Amino acid sequence: MADRVTLKIFDIVGGPVWVSTDDGQKVFDKIVAAFKANRAVELSFANRENLITAFLNAAIGQLYGGQYDEAFLQQHLAFADISDDDRAMLGRAIENAKRYFANQQAYDQTWQEVIDEDEE
Amino acid sequence: MTGNPAKVALGEIRSNELGFSRLAVLAAALDSYLLDIVDVDFSACTWFDANMSAPLGVVFVHALDNLNTLKPCGLRQGVETILAKNHFLTGFGFPERADTHGTTIPYHRFSATDDRYFAAYLNRHLRGKDLPIMSEALSQRFKNSILEIFVNAAMHSESKLGIFACGQYFPQQNRLDFCVADAGLGVRRKIYKELGLKMNSDKAIEWALQEGNTTRKGSVPGGLGLKLIREFIAMNKGRIQIVSDRGYWEFSPQGETLTRMDTSFPGTVIDIEINTADTSSYRLRAESKN
C-alpha cells in the first residue's frame, strides 16, 4: 500500500469557497502529483463554506477519464472531514463522470442539427 | 439617431414569458440607438418583479455599451420603490431606499471571474434576518443552485459585459425568486461555436438540459448542475425558467413549457423560484436508477 498524504482543499484553493472549475483543477493537479509520487491521497473537506458540482467535476470527476481505473482510485483516494450531504454530492459527481466518459461520443452524436427558416 | 427625442417604453414586468418578451422587445428598440440620450418610459409599467432587474440590467448594459445615456422616467411610486430598494436605480441618479422588511437581495453586476465575490454576496444576503423561515437544508440547496448557475454563466456565456443578479422574497406567498442573467452569446450560438451544431433557440435550451450535454471541451465532465437544480425545484414545487436568445423554457408543478419568443433576448437568463415554507428534507439522493 502506498504511503498516504493528506491534501486539504482549503489550503489548495486558499479559502472556503469551492465553486469554480479553475479551483477544482488546482485540486485535481495536486491529487495527480501525489499519485505520480506513488502516494495515496486523503482529501480533506474541512472548513468548506460553499461546494458545488462544477468544482467537483474538475477536482474529482476528471480522475475518471481513463487515466486511472476504478480499483486504483478506490485504493488510492479517500475523503475525510466531509458531511453526509457533500458526500452524496460527490457520489453524484463521480457517477456522472463515469457515465459521461463512457458515453461522451454518444452524447454528441444523438443530437442532429435542428434548425428551421425562422432562425438562421 | 437624430430628430425626435429618443424614447422607448416598458410595460408591466413579471417573471413570466410575457415579462421576458417585453424585455427582449425593449432590447431590440434600444439596439437602434448609438451615442444617444434615450428616455426609458416606465409610465405603463404598473408592476415590476424585483428579480427581473437582472435581465433588465442586461438590456440596459448593451445600450450603455453603445455609448448611449439611459434616463428611466415616468416611474410610478411603487415601481420606483422596488427598483430603488434593490439598488437598480442607483446608477441612474435615483436615491437609494432602505429595505426595511429585509426582503431584497440587491441587484449586482459581476464579472465572470467574480465567483468568490458572488459566493460572498450570496452567503451574506441569504443568511440571518432576511430569510428567517427557510430551513438550513433548503437554504443550502438554494444557494448551491444559484452558485451552479453563476459558475455556468461565467464558464460558458463569454459575457464581456458582466453577469447580473438580483433576488426578491415575497413573504405573503412564501416565495423567493432569484435571477442570474448574462449578456453573453446565448446557448444557441455557444453550441454552434463550440460544437458546430445549428439549433433553434428553444432546441438549444432543450439540448443544454439533457444530462451529459455540455459545450465544455477537454477532460472535465459536465451536465450535472442543471440536473440537480431541476430535481431540487421539482421536490420543492418551485419554478425554473431559462431564457436564451429567442428560447423560453419553464418547469413548474403546472408542467413544462418550451417555446420560442418573437424577439431575441440579448443573453441568457435563469430565474428560479422556491417555496420557502417547504420543510422537506433536502438531502441529496444517491444516483437515481433511471
Q: Per-residue pLDDT tens for A61-98?
A: 999 998 999 999 999 999 999 999 999 999 999 999 99
Residues of A with CB under 8 A from a CB of B: 15, 17, 19-21, 24-25, 49-55, 57-58, 61-62, 64-65, 84-85, 88-89, 91-93, 95-97, 99-101, 103-104, 107-108, 111, 113-116, 118-119
- Average pLDDT rounded to a whole number, residues A24-36: 98
Looking at CA atoms only, how far is residue B13 from chain A in angstroms? 26
Mean pLDDT across chain A, nearest whole number? 90
Q: Name chain B contacts of A108, Cβ cutoff 8 Å.
A: 195
Asked if the structure places residue B180 within a domain, the reply is: yes
- Average pLDDT rounded to a whole number, residues B157-167: 94
Confidence of residue B288 (pLDDT cuts 50, 70, 90): very low
- What's the CATH code of the domain at B22? 3.30.565.10
* CA–CA separation, B195 and A75 (whole Å): 37
Asked if the structure places residue B272 within a domain, the reply is: yes
Confidence of residue B140 (pLDDT cuts 50, 70, 90): confident
Looking at CA atoms only, how far is residue A38 from chain B in angstroms? 23
Q: Which of B110, B114, B115 should one mutate to test binding to chain A, selecting the residue with the greatest count of A CBs within 10 A?
A: B115
pLDDT at residue B290, as a whole number:
38
pLDDT at residue B165, as a whole number:
98
User: The domain containing residue B102 runs over which residues?
Assistant: 7-288
Confidence of residue B289 (pLDDT cuts 50, 70, 90): very low
In this predicted structure, the answer to whether residue A12 has a pLDDT above a threshold of 70 is yes
- Average pLDDT rounded to a whole number, residues B33-59: 97
Give the nearest partner residue to A62 out of B147, B199, B220, using CB atoms: B220
Q: Per-residue pLDDT tens for B222-244?
A: 878 888 899 999 999 999 999 99
Confidence of residue B129 (pLDDT cuts 50, 70, 90): very low
pLDDT at residue A109, as a whole number:
58
Asked if the structure places residue B2 within a domain, the reply is: no
Inter-chain CB proximity B119 and A100 less than 8 Å:
no
Asked if the structure places residue B1 within a domain, the reply is: no
Q: Per-residue pLDDT tens for A39-59?
A: 999 999 999 999 999 999 999
- The number of domains in chain B is 1
Asked if the structure places residue B251 within a domain, the reply is: yes
pLDDT at residue B246, as a whole number:
97
Q: Name chain B contacts of A61, Cβ cutoff 8 Å.
A: 220-221
pLDDT at residue B101, as a whole number:
81
Inter-chain CB proximity B225 and A54 less than 8 Å:
yes
In this predicted structure, the answer to whether residue B287 has a pLDDT above a threshold of 60 is no
Q: Name chain B contacts of A101, Cβ cutoff 8 Å.
A: 221
